Structure 1
Amino acid sequence: MKNYAITVFYSSSNVYMFVVYLFISLFCLSIFTSCCGTLLRIVIQERSLSLEQISGECIEIGAFFLNMLTYPWGFIGARPYQHPNPRLDHPPILLVHGYGLNRLSMFFVELYLKRKGYPHIWSINHPVLKDDLLLFAQELDQKIQRFCHITKQPSITIIAHSMGGIVSALALEKHQSPINNLITLGTPWRGTKMHILGLGKHVRQMAPEHCIIQGLKVPSIPHLAIWTKIDWILLPHENAIRDGLHNVALEHVGHFSLLFHYRALYLIHQYLQQDDTHTPDTLCHR
């Protein structure tokens, strides 16, 4: 019995130390990756950082670390959410994550929308075994059709982060998916030079010179594009801007911070609450 107790104690200690080391490793990796991205952005674009930008970069490190920490649980499938007492009459909302992440990266966006009373929300994953933006778009179209069938609605709204915006636009363009509104966060509409550091065909397809990016049409539906000037994933950050879209820039917010920041969440809610008769100019960011 004594030997068994000692074995259990050492096993528990090993598990504890493993968790601690994993936590520290992820945190260090988050700092290293974010710092490398920041240095690249400084070299390519800016040459200096203000105090506000440094503060934004620190928040970005925390956001990146949180995404990495929760990443393994994001592969557990989730069913579409239906609010028990919806306060808003709005089409279903589909949440589409970006490169290297999964549906759990959209958790705070989903939680915010639930608390605001939106009736139907579904956060999805891109197919793991596929490596092509066009295949991602095909899979997304199937999920959109399924979501419309489940909710008995003719169309949906999409909120997409980063690469998810490109995939959503391709689903609309190639498959005429029933999307009535598109909101994107940090989407590289004109590609990103950071594709050289990524893995997979779908990353190379986001190169500024790639035919998919070059041939991508401006979505023909109402569209809000939220972007940030300290986005180290999107280089240069001006590639998040595209004529024909309603582009809104947030100051001192990073690529991953867009998924958590109250200003981005407020903008999303404000945009969704606009009447069809309102123009995009009625939006303000604060």
Structure 2
Amino acid sequence: MKLDPLSLRLFIAVIEDGTIASAAAREHIAAAAVSKRLSELEQMLGTQLLVRTNKGITPTAAGVNLSVLAREVLDGLNDIVARMRDFSDGRRGTVRVFANISAIATFVPPLVKSFNERYPEVHISLQEHDSLTITEGIANNLAEIGIFTYLPHSADIEVYPFRTDELTVIVPVGHALADRDEVTFSETLDYEHVVLRAGTHLRFQMLTAAGRHGKSLRANVEVSSYDALCRMVEVGVGIGILPAGNAAIYHLPGTRTLKLAEPWATRELFICVRRVDALSPVARLLFDHLRSHS
């Protein structure tokens, strides 16, 4: 048994208008076709739904009951269409985002908040990865949008400017460098560092710069977050290098922040996608939101 939504709609129209002719005109269909569908509906359900007289048509008890059920079904179908339309224009759905630790800890949270306030039915799946993994992940379609600190890569992706951040040095109060306002990276290499885990772009930058100075990066403690790095520095385990935005968030009373006087201390963050014109509607909405607030 298959109930046809059109037959249910015609049935409701006949009940509301009281005549087949009026319902047919309202639904832009021949009166004979309406009458045929009503007869087939009664035959399918095995019960009389309408009483036909020369004064018009009235529903039987079964017809009244069916009209209630039919309206619920048709409303449900309309809701499906509306919800799917939301997906087609980006107001519903899920968008996958890869971002590095610097972006997630500073720039991304307020942007996610403002986006969700505007599109509450959109789910954002945000994952933290190192910058190289992000570019490769976007190229391999593991996520729609990536936010990373620029570095040379071979991924076939489109890249757009996002934000700029500055690296700073944090030291414990009482450290030999604590009275300085700025320091070169070479000077920091005389002291023990607390560093981010291997694979991050910052760790790569520090190792590369140490090599240029002919020195080693002394790092006996490795952590996975800037929060942990700041706490380790505060208790005197070593000194640390991190973006200024992160230092402002995690800054602790037992530390001092110094300017890192190096050209590479200024870092560019970028947004990457495989192709802007190939983004899903929901991903395009988020991409445009991120770009408009860059």
Using the size of structure 1 for normalisation, the TM-score is: 0.29
Which structure exhibits the higher relative contact order, with contacts defined as CA atoms closer than 8 Å and separated by 6 or more residues?
2
Higher share in strand: 2
Higher share in helix: 1
Larger radius of gyration: 2
